[in-house]
A = this chain, B = another copy of it.
Amino acid sequence: MKIELLEAGLYNVPLQVPLSDSTHGQMPHFELITVRLGDDQGLTGLGYTYTVGRGGGAILSLIRKDLAPVLLGQDPRRIERLWQAMWWALHYSGRGGQASLALSALDVALWDLAGKRTGEPWWRLLGGCRDRVKVYAGGVDLHFSLEELLEQHRRYLELGFGAVKMKVGRESLAEDLSRVAALREAIGPEVPLMVDANMGWSVDRAVRASRALAELDVYWLEEPTDPDDVRGHRRIAQRGALPLALGENLHTVAEFQRYIAAGAVDFPEPDLSNCGGVTAWLKIARLAEAFNLPVTSHGVHDLHVHLLAAVPNASYLEGHGFGLEAYLAEPLRIEAGFAYPPLRPGHGVELDWDRLSACRED
Measured CB to CB, the residues of A under 8 A from B are: 23-24, 51-62, 65-66, 88-102, 227-230, 249, 251-252, 254, 258, 274
Q: Are A59 and B97 in touch, CB under 8 angstroms?
A: no
Known interface pairs A55-B62, A66-B54, A254-B229. Does A94 touch B92 (Cβ–Cβ under 8 Å)? no
A22 CB → nearest B CB, Å: 12
Contacts of A102 in B (CB 8 A): 58
Most chain B beta-carbon contacts within 10 A, residue among A59, A93, A251: A93
A130 to chain B, nearest CB (A): 31
Taking a contact as CB atoms closer than 8 A, the residue among B58, B92, B249 that contacts A62 in the complex is B58
Contact A98 B24, beta carbon cutoff 8 Å: no
Q: Of B58, B66, B229, B249, which one neighbours A91 at CB under 8 angstroms?
A: B249
Shortest Cβ gap from A284 to chain B (Å): 14
Output the residue of A52, A99, A229, A252 with the most chain B CB within 10 A. A99
- Copies of this chain in its oligomeric complex: 2
Query: Could you say which of B24, B51, B55, B92 contacts A55, with CB atoms under 8 Å apart?
Result: B92
Contacts of A101 in B (CB 8 A): 93
Chain B residue numbers with a CB within 8 Å of A227 are 95
Q: A55-B99, A91-B249, A96-B251 are in contact. List 14 more A-B contacts (CB 8 A).
A: A23-B88, A51-B93, A54-B66, A54-B90, A55-B66, A57-B65, A57-B66, A58-B61, A93-B101, A94-B97, A94-B98, A96-B97, A97-B99, A98-B98
